[in-house]
Amino acid sequence: MSKFTDFVDSLVDEGKTLAKDELKKLISDAKSDQSDFVRLQAENLERWTIMLAEGDLTKKGYEKLVKKMEVLTQLEIIKLKVSAKASAQRLAEGIQKLVIDSLFALI
């Protein structure tokens, strides 16, 4: 058992508000995701949870760090958008150069 699962299992949750197994599965799946970004965020969350358990972070510090993950996700979304735009730009420039400038000059 990892420190992360130990900590999650040790939480007293009489109201059953935390789906412990789902949380553990979420992190476990994310850590083996194909995306580097998703894997990195899962590692962040796991490390910060362990630090919370060991007293290196307070509840407030933990919450603030988790909120930073939202910003990182927004940055990643912009990156994916730029990647798609750059591909479209390469296609448009290829059409201009190879089809309109070169091919049309020959026919």
Q: Is 68 a binder of another protein (CB under 8 A)?
A: yes
Residue 7: C-alpha distances to residues 3, 4, 14, 55, 65 (Å): 6, 5, 16, 12, 18
Of the candidate spans 4-12, 14-22, 24-32, 58-66, the one that interacts with another protein by CB under 8 A turns out to be: 58-66
Closest approach, Cβ 13 to another protein, in A, equals 23
Compose the 70-89 pattern: x for residues touching another protein by CB under 8 A, - for all others: -xx-xxx-xx-xxx-xx-xx
Closest approach, Cβ 27 to another protein, in A, equals 17
Residue 102 φ/ψ, nearest 5 degrees: -90, -55
Q: Is 64 a binder of another protein (CB under 8 A)?
A: yes
Taking the C-alpha atoms of residue 52 and residue 54, their distance in angstroms, rounded to an integer, is 5
